[in-house]
Amino acid sequence: MGQRLSDSQYRIEPLNTSHDRAAFSCGEAALDRYIRQSAGQDMRRRVTVVYVLVDAAAPRTIAGFYTLSASSVSLHDFPLEMARQLPKYPSVPVALVGRLASSLHCQGQGCGALLIVDALARSCAISGTGMGVAAVVVDAKTEQVTAFYEKYGFMRFHATTPPRLFIPIRTAQQALSPGQTAD
Ligand SMILES: CC(C)(COP(=O)(O)OP(=O)(O)OC[C@H]1O[C@@H](n2cnc3c(N)ncnc32)[C@H](O)[C@@H]1OP(=O)(O)O)[C@@H](O)C(=O)NCCC(=O)NCCS
């Protein structure tokens, strides 16, 4: 484990052509291929926004990234307790963090935390004023990584392979701004 990051030297911004995608490596071949080959095209086609974490001292180097898209989940996929609090429409609007990864150079230093907290904060901001978003959903890719998301309050949907997790938007809002009531 290396030194922990100081938040202030890092920023998170939408992927653009100045970022060095070819150099990114997180140890998961599919995620490396995604950022190198598909992320730019997905942004141009407006199917996702890819947010990258960069160090202000080396702003071309991608320390980590996540993708954020509008999506929906069947009402019946949510646990009964949450489904009861939602209107009885067949599908529930969610923000989907489809991919998230830290560079091998940065793992264990707080990059993953900055990325997931940013994804939650952005989703809460959108939900409040821009678009209906009742929950944030993540695709965890492997069983092993579910524990990372559970640390931030995500819960498993039952019987999904690969694992899929969610956090109600109100829970995320309360975690990010304790003391504030989510209307
Ligand atoms: C999973 C991943 C994003 C974690 O990123 P990271 O930069 O190492 O995470 P951080 O250093 O910010 O760790 C934040 C916290 O999560 C914990 N954590 C990190 N990886 C974890 C894992 N696989 N399981 C459980 N907890 C984990 C850390 O111990 C830390 O806990 P602490 O705050 O109590 O110290 C990173 O290992 C990665 O990119 N892996 C390859 C790609 C991948 O599997 N992506 C996820 C699927 S889309």
- pLDDT tens per residue across span 23-49: 999 999 999 999 999 999 999 999 999
- pLDDT tens per residue across span 66-91: 999 999 999 999 999 999 999 999 99
Contact between 98 and 69 (Cβ < 8 Å): yes
Mutation test residue for ligand 1: of 102, 105, 118, 139, the one with most atoms within 8 Å of CB: 102
Give phi and psi for 167, each to the nearest 5: -135, 130
Contact between 148 and 117 (Cβ < 8 Å): no
Q: Residue 134: its pLDDT value, please?
A: 97
The CA 143 to ligand 1 mean position distance, Å, reads: 13
Contact between 137 and 94 (Cβ < 8 Å): yes
- pLDDT tens per residue across span 102-132: 999 999 999 999 999 999 999 999 998 899 9
pTM of the model: 0.94
Segments making up each domain of the chain, as ranges: 7-176
Contact between 34 and 47 (Cβ < 8 Å): no
Contact between 152 and 116 (Cβ < 8 Å): yes
For the domain 7-176, what is the CATH superfamily, name and number? Gcn5-related N-acetyltransferase (GNAT) (3.40.630.30)
Instruction: Report the amino acid identity of residue 29.
Output: A
Reading the block at residue 171, the tokens are 């829970």
Q: Residue 2: its pLDDT value, please?
A: 46
The CA 108 to ligand 1 mean position distance, Å, reads: 7
